[in-house]
Amino acid sequence: MKTPVCPRVMLVEALRDGRLGPQESASMERHVPTCAACSAAARELDVIGDAVRAPQPPATPLEHQRARLALLRRATEPAPARAPSWTPRAVLVAAAMALAAVLGWTGARMMGPATAPIALHMRPPPRLAPARETTLRPSDDARFERTRTAGLEVVTLSNGTLDLTVRPLGPGERFVVRTVDAEV
Ligand SMILES: [Zn+2]
C-alpha cells in the first residue's frame, strides 16, 4: 500500500521562506504537525537549512533543484521504505540473538561450577552503614552502669571490658564512657 502524497507538501518550503499569505501560513502551521508527508518535508528542510548555514560553497540553482527533487521524492516515499536495513526479518534475527544471549547467561548460572562465583559476587556487601542504635557487648566479668538523662548518656565501667557501638548523635547529645581513671 502506498502512502498518499499530500498536495500541500510543496507549500512547506514556501511557508519557511515566508512566501505564504497570513491566512495560508496559519493554515499550514496547523496542517504540518498533523501530516506525515509535510512534517517529513519540514524535517528535511531543517537538515538542508543547517547544511546551507554551514560554511560551504553556495549551491548552484541546479544543485538546489536536485536537492529539492530528492527531498520531495523522499517525503512522498511510503513510510517502511525509509528504514530498509530494519526489515522484520532483521529485527527477528536480532531478537533471537538477544534471547540466545539471555538464555546462555541463565544457562551458565544454573550449571554447577559457574554458580559459585556468581553467588559469591551477588552476596550483599558487609554492612558499613553507621549503627542505628547504641549497642554494648560487655565481657563476662564486666561491671558497668548506664545512665540516660536528656541529651547525655553515661556508661561507667568499673571492671572488665566493653565493646561499644554508639549510634550517630544528634545536635547537643553526648555519650560519655567513664572508667576508673579515664573519661571518653
Ligand atoms: Zn500535508
Higher pLDDT, 22 or 102: 22
* Set of cell numbers at residue 21: 499569505
Residues at Cβ < 5 Å from ligand 1 ion = 6, 8, 35, 37-38
- Burial tier of 40 (Cβ tally within 10 Å: 0-12, 13-18, 19+): buried
> What are the angstrom distances between the C-alpha of 35 and each of 5, 12, 28, 39?
10, 11, 10, 6
* Set of cell numbers at residue 119: 553467588
Q: How far is the CA of 33 from the centre of ligand 1 (A)?
A: 9
Residue type, 130: P
Cβ proximity of 31 and 8 under 8 Å: yes
Q: How far is the CA of 58 from the centre of ligand 1 (A)?
A: 29
- How far out from the chain centre does Cα 150 lie? 47
Q: How far is the CA of 8 from the centre of ligand 1 (A)?
A: 5
Q: How far is the CA of 53 from the centre of ligand 1 (A)?
A: 26
pLDDT tens digits, 51-97 = 777 766 667 888 888 888 888 888 887 665 555 555 555 555 555 55
Q: How far is the CA of 68 from the centre of ligand 1 (A)?
A: 16
Residue 67 confidence (pLDDT): 85
pTM above 0.85, yes or no: no
* Set of cell numbers at residue 137: 557487648
